Structure 1
Amino acid sequence: MAGPTPEFWQARFESQQTGWDRGACSPQLLAHLDSGALQPCRIAVPGCGSGWEVAELARRGFEVVGIDYTAAAVERAREHCRSVGVDARIIQADVLAWQPDQAFDAIYEQTCLCALHPDHWFSYAGRLSAWLRPGGVLWAMFMQVVRPEATGQGLIQGPPYHCDINAMRALFAEPRWAWPKPPYASLPHPNMGHELAVTLIRG
């Protein structure tokens, strides 16, 4: 399998090398929630990591399923949910193979896509489409982390991998996915580039 392995991520969590972790729920998710744009529903959080977003969604009445394939991340997310007194389902699974027994109304995609090697992006996009019911919403945060060696020499570098917006339009292509018009909200990341918030509706 191209790209980082479960052992790679396990070592990162065990050694506290989790620079992508804000230590709190994403401000963009809070904005979606506080504005009322994202209402309680059945929602998945792939690559849930420490579980900040899972816990916040559960606290606000969502039926949430957090997914991560690293044991340390799953345990950390479960512990965080216990510590704040919320009940959420957090499972250890490979997002490239896992399939829910019931379709989701929404998916919050923040750090999973950019953690996967681009060789797996089409497979992952297909999974997200299969997880969602028709008309379901993908609340995506596309990581923008341009690397000179990537643009100058075509090297694939990461994680995190740069989620170029043109590549994202090809990956989540119309008419299967309905795209809003740009510009998109930009959220600075504390340790790397920034994220573009894009809300896609599954056809």
Structure 2
Amino acid sequence: MKQDFNADYWQQRYLSNQTGWDTQGITTPLKAYFDQLTNKDLRILIPGCGNAYEAEYLFNQGFKHVYVADVAPAPLENFAKRVTDFPKDHLLLQNFFDLQGGYDLIVEQTFFCALNPDLRAAYARKCAELLVPGGRLVGLLFDTEFAKEGPPFGGSAAEYKQYFEPYFKFMHFERAYNSIAPRQGSELFINLQKK
């Protein structure tokens, strides 16, 4: 039977602490990217946010229009306890594919690899739909195959390009040079601009 990676599945993963993807903090490539952003008024979405260390970092740096979305309540509750002054209406307990648009930046950090690979083309299309013209999809994708069945699900740069090319200009799409140690040599850093 094929696993349904629904809200219950992810909620149980959090409740049983089966969160091997959780880095306990913001990763180096995203921190480096965020540190060069100057417009604090950007509307930023982090889908499949998990414990949302990226949102915590951005919020603490003065970005006040950060929204986080997840289908499981546990990570959003964890985040709300950790970042008590984060606006509650920016915590979106929603399926990514049901979200509405108007974002300048979408941050990708281990959400794409958690989706059933059958949804990858739909993910690219939905990101484009959620972004304003010229908006960006920035983050990390695994550029490797995994030995065990996912999630996480691996893939390759060549595969990913076919999903994003219809909607985005590729500003940067290369192997990350500053990945955290466990992911060194297996991540692409992407910076894609909506056409």
State if a TM-score over 0.5 links the two structures: yes
Separation of aligned partners in 2, 1:21 and 1:168? 23
Q: Identify the residue that residue 72 of structure 1 maps to in structure 2.
A: 74
Could you tell me how far 1:5 is from its partner in structure 2? 2.0
Q: Identify the residue that residue 144 of structure 1 maps to in structure 2.
A: 143
Paired residue type of 2:32: A
Could you tell me how far 1:79 is from its partner in structure 2? 1.6
Q: Identify the residue that residue 154 of structure 1 maps to in structure 2.
A: none
**Number of residue-to-residue matches in the alignment:** 190
Paired residue type of 1:162: G
Paired residue type of 2:168: W
DSSP-derived class of the 2:57 partner? helix
Deviations 1:54-86 (A, max 9, x none): 11111122210000000111111222211xx44
Separation of aligned partners in 1, 2:185 and 2:174? 17
Could you tell me how far 1:148 is from its partner in structure 2? 5.2
Q: Contact 1:51 / 1:78 at 8 angstroms: preserved in 2?
A: no
Q: CA 1:107/1:181 → structure 2, altered by over 3 Å: closer, same or farther?
A: closer
Separation of aligned partners in 2, 1:181 and 1:13? 32
Separation of aligned partners in 1, 2:78 and 2:49? 10
Q: CA 1:23/1:158 → structure 2, altered by over 3 Å: closer, same or farther?
A: same
Find out whether 1:90 has 2:91 as its counterpart: yes
Provide TM-score, normalisation by structure 2: 0.87
Find out whether 1:196 has 2:192 as its counterpart: no
**Which of 161, 179, 183 is the equivalent residue of 2:170?**
179
Paired residue type of 1:108: V
DSSP-derived class of the 2:182 partner? coil
When structure 1 is superposed on structure 2, of 64-73 and 89-98 the one drifting more is 89-98
Q: CA 1:112/1:143 → structure 2, altered by over 3 Å: closer, same or farther?
A: same
Separation of aligned partners in 2, 1:27 and 1:191? 11
Which residues of structure 1 form unaligned runs of 5+? 150-156
Q: Contact 1:49 / 1:68 at 8 angstroms: preserved in 2?
A: yes
Separation of aligned partners in 2, 1:159 and 1:38? 35
Q: Contact 1:58 / 1:87 at 8 angstroms: preserved in 2?
A: no
Could you tell me how far 1:133 is from its partner in structure 2? 0.6
Q: Identify the residue that residue 83 of structure 2 maps to in structure 1.
A: 81
Q: Contact 2:47 / 2:111 at 8 angstroms: preserved in 1?
A: yes
Counterparts in 2 of 1:109-128, with a 5 A limit?
A: 109-128=108-127
Percent identity between the aligned chains?
A: 28
DSSP-derived class of the 2:189 partner? strand
Q: Identify the residue that residue 23 of structure 2 maps to in structure 1.
A: 22
Paired residue type of 1:45: I
Paired residue type of 1:170: Q
Q: CA 1:185/1:147 → structure 2, altered by over 3 Å: closer, same or farther?
A: closer
Which residues of structure 2 form unaligned runs of 5+? none
Aligned-residue RMSD, C-alpha: 2.3
Could you tell me how far 1:145 is from its partner in structure 2? 3.6
Q: CA 1:93/1:133 → structure 2, altered by over 3 Å: closer, same or farther?
A: same
